[in-house]
Structure 1
Amino acid sequence: MSTLFDKIWDKHVVKSIEGGPSVLYIDKHFIHEVTSPQAFDGLRKRGIPVHNVKQVVATADHNVPTIDQHLPIKEALSKMQVQKLVDNCAEFGIELYGLGHPYQGIVHVIGPELGVTQPGMTMVCGDSHTSTHGAFGSIAFGIGTSEVEMVLATQCLLQSKPKQMRITIDGELHKGVTSKDIILYIISKISASGATGYFVEYAGSAIRALSMEARMTICNMSIEMGARGGLIAPDETTINYVKGRKFAPQGADWDKAVAYWNTLRTDDDAKFDVEINIKAEDIEPMVTYGTNPGMGISVNENIPSEKAIDEKEKPSFLKSLQYMGFEPGEKIKGHKVDYVFIGSCTNARIEDLRAVASFVKGKKKSDDVEVWIVPGSKQVEAQAKEEGIDKIFEAAGFQLRQPGCSACLGMNEDKIPAGKYCISTSNRNFEGRQGAGARTLLASPLTAAAAAITGVVSDVREMI
């Protein structure tokens, strides 16, 4: 009896090394400007071409500005990294979705929307949040720069098979509770290291009821609990999402692909190393208060008291609160925020923007909050404008920017000033992640939008 992970893994093993890793064939390799330059340098020094340019998808996302993308990039390092990607792709014959291209965007947003991401694949990128693509029932994970070089050169990777965990969420979510709340809840329960060494399959009626974009949010943050990646079995929702997209199979190839995709599920008697069961109705809108994604609570809960924390963890807990400017036992609801960032590979898809627009329509942002909405791709941006979402944001005082990773990480011009509080729909709240001294509270797009309107951390359920 096999798990979904076993079925995909076994199909892609080229060679097994006794007592060691396997040589794993990689179907799709995503690259961006941050982790690819040294890999290309390695190929150049050894005189090796890219093994198969058709299996490489390249885009610029981390370093790009999100205002005036038609102008030269101001930050010297960002400009150099983006230019290096342009040069490397030209030299090695890889098509690049760079600035100005209609397909440009965050790598983990463009893969699914273009139909590049498909069930049953192995997919890698020099970026930890490659786990996003697992929402389609694929084995997708982040790799290091030396591994990027290995895949460019051979289309294969040395990998040891990870342990497996299944997290089953059954029941119905409350109104105002989203997939972002599901994953923040899971991480708060098992900790930011609770799935280290595992690949996680998400299952259960609450998962099956989610849209593809919501499933991507969950798989995206698998990495935030230490997992190697996460995946969800493909079903009718998956197939309907992929159908008709730019790089999806067509005609007879489509029928053949769907027949295979329908076999991709965990067998009833398959065994996992760890099983976790969660009731959907126990989940409320979540918000983080600390400096790792496991430090999360329901919006109506208080930050834990010092007594509630294990002695070994107390020093890091107190250090985290000191950085955030919070006190043990403090209520988080009602706390003032300065910035709201809705974007990143976690929550910058059209569905996220639609949910926020629907909530803020006819409302105005709080005067002392700056709101940045950053679409995940040029296609999301175009769709938002076509649907008039940009006008709703404009009327609410929100700024719709151009696609990129933006304020998810302090690697471009969009940084949160030191000491300021930002409610962010991104995936990480580490010290300095959004800029030196920035204080990040992770939340869903709806919770972020509620804070934008009220100026404080709010329970969106009281406003819908």
Structure 2
Amino acid sequence: MKTLFEKIWEKHVVQTIEGGPSILYIDRHFIHEVTSPQAFNGLNKRGIKVFRPNQVVATADHNVPTLDQHLPIKEELSRVQVDTLKKNCAEHGIELYGLGHPFQGIVHVIGPELGITQPGMTIVCGDSHTSTHGAFGSIAFGIGTSEVEMVLATQCLMQSRPKLMRINIDGQLNDGVVSKDIVLYILAQITASGATGYAVEFAGSAIRSLSMEARMTICNMSIEMGARCGMIAPDQTTFDYIQGRRFAPQGEDWEKSVAYWQTLFSDEGAAFDTEINIKAEDIEPMITYGTNPGMGIGVGGHIPGLGEVEEKEKPSFEKSLAYMGLQPGAAIKGTKVDYVFIGSCTNSRIEDLRLVAGFVNGKQKAPGVEVWIVPGSKQVEKQAIEEGIDKIFEAAGFILRQPGCSACLGMNEDKIPAGKYCISTSNRNFEGRQGPNARTFLASPLTAALAAITGEVGDVREYWKN
């Protein structure tokens, strides 16, 4: 009896060092402009080429502008990094989906939508949110720059096997509750370090009821619990999503692949080091109030009072609230917001944009609120335009920008000004994450859309049927 993780891990172990880590074979390696230059520099210094370039996929996403992408990049560091990626990919024969390419986009969006991400794979990238790909029943995790170099050189990686955790979510989700609320709820329950050292499998009827895009949101944020990776067993929903995509298996290969993928589940009675059970009915629309993703509450709730916080946690708790300009015990509903950002590798897929468009159709954004909608890829952007979603956004006063990581992180031109509040569908609310002294509330696309219309944090359930 084996878990899903064990089945994939054991199939990819090349060698285990006695008393130490395993050498793991890597099926797919995604790279981008931020964490790859030093790795290529290391290869070049040693005079070696990329071992298996056909298993490496590159795109530009973190530092790219999301307006006027046809023009030269203004920020010098960003321009140098993107140019360096072009040069390195050309020298080493790696496929690059750079600016202007119809497949360009956020690395964790383009892998699944192109059919590159498949069940049973080992997948790595020099980016912590590589865990997104685990939604397909793969072992996917972020790696450091020296490890990027190791995989480029050998297609293998030394890794210690993590402990195993399963989080079961059973039952029926309430109206207005989406996958982002599920993962923020889990984080609020177990904290931002609650899964440290674990590979986490998400299971249960509520998980099985989700679309692939919703599953990706949950696995994306497993890293925010401290997990090494997150994963969901593939099923018919998975197979239907992959079938017919550009790099998906075809014909006889498709039949063989599905036959293997159908074996990828945790056997009944398989052992996990830790199991957590959650009732779907207990989850409500969530929002963060602090400076780590585990500091979250239901939108109708209140920020914990000092008496509700453990003594050892009080200094960091008070520091966090001071940064956010919030008070212990206060309600968060009704807090005014200045910016709304809908995008990032967490929530920038076509399903997210459709959800927002359906909610805001015929409505106008609140005065004084700036709204940025950033599609996760050129394909998402194209689909949004073909479906008329861009026109709905335009009529509401929103800006549909071009693909990139954008305001998820303060590495490009899309920064939130100091002291301003942004309700964001991204994955991190650390100090300065969206720009120096920017203040971030993490929430679902629905909750963010509501804030764009009302100008404040609200409960989408009150508007759900309107």
User: Normalised by the shorter chain, which TM-score bucket?
Assistant: over 0.9
- Aligned residues with identical type, % of pairs: 79
Aligned partner of 2:362 in structure 1 is 362
Aligned partner of 2:132 in structure 1 is 132
SS at the partner of 1:461?
helix
1:401 equivalent to 2:401? Answer: yes
The one-letter amino acid paired with 1:140 is A
Where do 1:50-65 residues align within 5 Å?
50-65=50-65
> Which runs of 5 or more structure 1 residues have no equivalent in the other structure?
none
Where do 1:50-449 residues align within 5 Å?
50-449=50-449
Aligned partner of 1:40 in structure 2 is 40
Deviation string, structure 1 residues 366-420 (Cα, Å, up to 9, x no partner): 0110000000000000000000000000000000000000000000000000000
SS at the partner of 1:175?
coil
The one-letter amino acid paired with 1:361 is N
Give the RMSD, CA atoms, in angstroms: 0.3
Whole-angstrom distance in 1 between the partners of 2:229 and 2:185: 17
SS at the partner of 2:224?
helix
Aligned partner of 1:457 in structure 2 is 457
Q: When the two structures are superposed, what TM-score results if normalisation uses the length of structure 2?
A: 0.99
Report the Cα offset of residue 95 of structure 1: 1.2
Deviation string, structure 1 residues 2-30 (Cα, Å, up to 9, x no partner): 00000000000011111000110000000
SS at the partner of 2:83?
helix
The one-letter amino acid paired with 2:210 is L
The one-letter amino acid paired with 1:329 is G
Whole-angstrom distance in 1 between the partners of 2:2 and 2:389: 45
Whole-angstrom distance in 2 between the partners of 1:460 and 1:400: 22
Deviation string, structure 1 residues 266-317 (Cα, Å, up to 9, x no partner): 0001010000000000000000000000000000001000000000000000
> Which runs of 5 or more structure 2 residues have no equivalent in the other structure?
none
Report the Cα offset of residue 93 of structure 1: 1.1
Deviation string, structure 1 residues 156-209 (Cα, Å, up to 9, x no partner): 000010000000000010011000000000000000000000000000000000
Q: Which of structure 1's runs of 4+ aligned residues deviate more than 2 A? A: none
SS at the partner of 1:131?
helix
Q: Aligned residues, how many?
A: 464
Deviation string, structure 1 residues 216-235 (Cα, Å, up to 9, x no partner): 00000000010001000000
Whole-angstrom distance in 2 between the partners of 1:210 and 1:90: 39
Whole-angstrom distance in 1 between the partners of 2:4 and 2:381: 34
Whole-angstrom distance in 2 between the partners of 1:408 and 1:283: 25
The one-letter amino acid paired with 2:328 is P
Whole-angstrom distance in 1 between the partners of 2:62 and 2:78: 8
Whole-angstrom distance in 2 between the partners of 1:219 and 1:96: 25
Whole-angstrom distance in 2 between the partners of 1:119 and 1:356: 29
Aligned partner of 2:10 in structure 1 is 10
Report the Cα offset of residue 127 of structure 1: 0.2
Whole-angstrom distance in 1 between the partners of 2:286 and 2:95: 40
The one-letter amino acid paired with 2:395 is A
Whole-angstrom distance in 2 between the partners of 1:77 and 1:185: 37
Whole-angstrom distance in 2 between the partners of 1:233 and 1:168: 12
Q: When the two structures are superposed, what TM-score results if normalisation uses the length of structure 1?
A: 1.00
The one-letter amino acid paired with 2:180 is K
The one-letter amino acid paired with 1:187 is L
